Amino acid sequence: MSLLIWGAMFEVGVSDIDAQHRRLFDLANQLADAVRVGKGQDVLAEVLTELVRYTQTHFAFEEQLMSQHHYPAAAEHRQQHQELVQQVTGFKQRFHAGDQLVVEESLQFFTHWLSRHIMHIDKAFARDLKAKGVQ
């Protein structure tokens, strides 16, 4: 059972960004599934690490597009990315320190942040990109 369900409401209309967002949804759902079935710490660590890694990859891609297309709200958008990376890094540190509750807490935080970020911040960015001919 998926925690996040991809649908048209999350599409921003830029194919590469939408594909990366779907991957983030998949990773968040993998983590949720691992938590739900009580997977071992090693599995949780692996999925959490991949979620963090891919999030950073996605942010770098978006930020490259922002620079390339002179996105006027790039500084604010990058700041949100940096804040999420800091938050998730803290969650990961707590996990490796033995905090068992942090996985569910981080998953709840990440899914809420991701859906809100896509719906508001990324959609505004995509509108700007599409106006400049990026699809």
pLDDT value, residue 69: 97
Q: Does the pLDDT value for residue 13 go beyond 90?
A: yes
> What does pLDDT average to over the chain?
91
34-68 pLDDT, tens digit each: 888 888 677 778 888 888 899 999 999 999 999 99
Percentage of the chain modeled with pLDDT above 70: 99
92-104 pLDDT, tens digit each: 889 889 887 888 8
Contact 8, 123 (CB under 8 A): no
pLDDT value, residue 104: 84
Domains in the chain (CATH in brackets) are: 14-131 (1.20.120.50)
The residue type found at 109 is: F
Contact 8, 14 (CB under 8 A): no
Residues 6+ apart with CB under 8 A from 19: none
Contact 114, 85 (CB under 8 A): no
